[in-house]
Amino acid sequence: MQFPTKTIIRSLGIRPVKSCGQNFLIDESLAEKTVARAGIAPGDCVIEIGPGPGALTFFIAQSGAHAHCFEIDRDLCAMLADQYANEHVSLYNQDILQADFKALCPPGGGAVLIGSIPYNITSRIVLKFFETARLFRSAVLIVQKEFAERLCAGPGSRDYGILSVLAQAYAPPRSLFTVPAACFYPQPEVDSAAIMLAPDKSRNWIDPREVFFQKIVRAAFSMRRKKLKNCLKPFLGDDPAGVQAGLLAAGIDLDRRAETLTLDEFYTLADFLREL
């Protein structure tokens, strides 16, 4: 077992595939720091997204946790399976988006999700985490810095959008540290950032109230420069003026734009419209 530096990766004949978003983490101290921030303890259930040559896996294996690593590249998966044959590491040659988290995570929501995520599927992975957040204690993810800024954005910010609101609702995010482009091989054109997502287990993604809330958030941002009364027309019924007056009494002005609403205001809006 050895940390996969750039030299080692090349000596193994591994060639990153650009179409698969393969930018391998090669900075040992940063990989160690990322795993440390996840607070992984012996016996924990850890799900790793796309380990690649195993930069994070190297330190997860040392923690004594049971790691479930999903790697879509068949050759990399076979290499890691051989390298960690005697460790508490299970390798799956499978797309993380198809993984059944519920079958792997123990009851009680104590699992940890971790990974340096391919840029091209970041949004889909994060949404999958929101859907299953109640299974997890936390997620520590390395994502494109621009995406991290969007996820952590607050009301009134130009980066504030659908994912920002959903993140606040289901797993409030926190930016941990910047990951310079030089920490990867091949080096991407942009920096990345490590973020932590801490699930709010009081909310269940599939609860009818939450499903309607998600619809309202998506509709509200569907035409970003339009006012709420234009974006939400399908939800205002036969008396949009009356609905607008009722919402105004509840503290929501439909002449506002979506990016100005707080999370609580989105729930107020959704609950009011759901009662119609």
- CATH number for the domain including 65? 3.40.50.150
139 and 80 co-located in one domain = yes
180 and 63 co-located in one domain = yes
133 and 213 co-located in one domain = no
Residue range 164-217, pLDDT digits in tens: 999 999 999 999 999 999 999 999 999 999 999 999 999 999 999 999 999 999
**pLDDT given at position 66:** 96
User: 152 in a domain, yes or no?
Assistant: yes
**pLDDT given at position 40:** 97
- How many structural domains are present in the chain? 2
72 and 103 co-located in one domain = yes
Range 41-56 burial, b when 16+ CB lie within 10 A, else e = eeebbbbbbbbbbbbb
**Predicted confidence band of residue 91 (pLDDT cuts 50, 70, 90):** very high
User: 203 in a domain, yes or no?
Assistant: no
**Predicted confidence band of residue 70 (pLDDT cuts 50, 70, 90):** very high
Q: What is the CATH number of the domain that holds 250?
A: 1.10.8.100
33 and 104 co-located in one domain = yes
User: 1 in a domain, yes or no?
Assistant: no
Range 120-144 burial, b when 16+ CB lie within 10 A, else e = ebbbebbbbbbebbbbbbbbbbbbb
Nearest-10 crossing angle of helices 28-37, 55-62: 50
**pLDDT given at position 107:** 87
55 and 191 co-located in one domain = yes
188 and 218 co-located in one domain = no
**Predicted confidence band of residue 267 (pLDDT cuts 50, 70, 90):** very high
Listed residues 168, 197, 226: the one ending a domain: 197
User: 161 in a domain, yes or no?
Assistant: yes
189 and 255 co-located in one domain = no
241 and 152 co-located in one domain = no
Residue 180, domain extent: 6-197
Listed residues 197, 222, 239: the one ending a domain: 197
Listed residues 164, 197, 230: the one ending a domain: 197
151 and 271 co-located in one domain = no
106 and 215 co-located in one domain = no
Instruction: Give the chain's end-to-end CA distance (angstroms, integer).
Output: 61
User: 102 in a domain, yes or no?
Assistant: yes
- The mean of the pLDDT values for the chain is 95
135 and 254 co-located in one domain = no
User: 61 in a domain, yes or no?
Assistant: yes
Residue range 101-151, pLDDT digits in tens: 999 999 888 999 999 998 889 999 999 999 999 999 999 999 999 999 999
Nearby residues of 125 by Cβ (< 8 Å), 6 or more positions away: 49, 96, 97, 115, 117, 141
